[in-house]
Amino acid sequence: MTRVLVIIPAYNEAASLPAVIQDLRVCYPAADPLVVNDGSTDETARIARGLGVPVLDLPYNLGIGGAVQTGLLYAARERYDYAVQFDGDGQHRADQLAALLAPVVARRADVAIGSRFMVPNSYQVPFLRRCGIAIFSAVNALIVGQTITDNTSGFRAYGRDALTFLAREYPHDYPEPESVVTLCRNGFRIVEVPTSMRERQGGRSSITLFRSIYYMCKVLLAIGVRATGRRVGRVQDDTAHPDYLGSR
């Protein structure tokens, strides 16, 4: 029996979380949802617990990268076969989860990324953001020799090897485009799956217009460093502390 963990990073997502969990339970009941509460100041943790979902409470805000990595650490230690990254704001659709997992389960890929840009006109992206995404796509294509149309997508499925690897090596603040390069450089196979996404149900995007320039510079720098950087090697499964597993 394969086990799937759905990691839901949530920073002040109390408004949208119930619908997200409900959506997951209806569309993909076989998966275990896990909320990573990234130091929320609202009722996120209480609401998630009220829904009977396990919650990892970070003592303070780590940012999306640190939050997702916490979920990946959990997945690695609890011996999950697959992990899915799924936003807590209602953007991602649980009915697309099976399609996202399919190539990973079939071992055609180690990582599947849900792309908004393989379905024509399905999702309205503001012009500037579309430009940024195009730049990432071009830069990453140049570096890894594979065109990823939606590098910023946070709707992703990981196989066991990839999730164990990322539990150790996951980028900080804005991890998505950078992790594509890290994964490719370390020999993980990535496929994109056409996905439609909803408009946000609540909360605000973590990337405001003001921070976009900083975001672009930081991520491009990180990608550049990754492109020249060391290969870390695939799997040394040292994420599982023996005491932790022994107590189960």
Partner 1 sequence: MTQRIQIISVLGSLAVMVFVFMLIRRGKLREEYAIIWFLASLALIAVSIWRDSLDVAADLAGIYYAPSVLLLGVIVLGFALAMHYSISLSRLAEQNKRLAQEVALLRHQIESLNDAGGPRGHSPTPVRR
Per-residue binding string, partner 1, 7-46, x by CB under 8 A, is: -----------------------------x----------
Where does this chain touch partner 1 (CB under 8 A) — which range of 21-29, 51-59, 91-99, 193-201?
Answer: 51-59
Of 62, 109, 180, 219, the one binding partner 1 by CB under 8 A: 62
Q: Do the beta carbons of residue 224 and residue 115 sit within 8 Å?
A: no
Of 98, 211, 217, 244, the one binding partner 1 by CB under 8 A: 244
- Using rule CB under 8 A, residue 225 touches partner 1: no
- Using rule CB under 8 A, residue 127 touches partner 1: no
- Which two three-digit tokens encode residue 202? 């609540």
- Using rule CB under 8 A, residue 56 touches partner 1: yes
Nearest distance, CB of residue 15 and partner 1, angstroms: 22
Where does this chain touch partner 1 (CB under 8 A) — which range of 10-18, 63-71, 83-91, 95-103?
Answer: 63-71
Nearest distance, CB of residue 36 and partner 1, angstroms: 7
Concatenated DSSP letters for 11-76?
SS-TTTHHHHHHHHHHH-TTSEEEEEE-S-SSSHHHHHHHTT--EEE-SS--HHHHHHHHHHHHHH
Per-residue binding string, partner 1, 154-193, x by CB under 8 A, is: ------------------x---------------------
Beta partners for 55? 35
- Using rule CB under 8 A, residue 69 touches partner 1: yes
Where does this chain touch partner 1 (CB under 8 A) — which range of 64-72, 122-130, 199-207, 230-238?
Answer: 64-72
**Binders of partner 1 among 94-113, rule CB under 8 A?**
none
- First and final CA of the chain: distance in angstroms? 19
Distance CA 48, CA 88 (A): 11
When the beta carbons of 51 and 135 are compared against partner 1, the nearer one is: 51
When the beta carbons of 25 and 168 are compared against partner 1, the nearer one is: 168
Residues 6+ apart with CB under 8 A from 115: 148, 149, 150, 153, 192, 193, 194, 195
C-alpha of 166 from chain center:
10
Instruction: Summarize as ranges the residues that interact with partner 1 (CB under 8 A).
Output: 36, 54-60, 62, 66, 69-70, 73-74, 77, 172, 244, 247
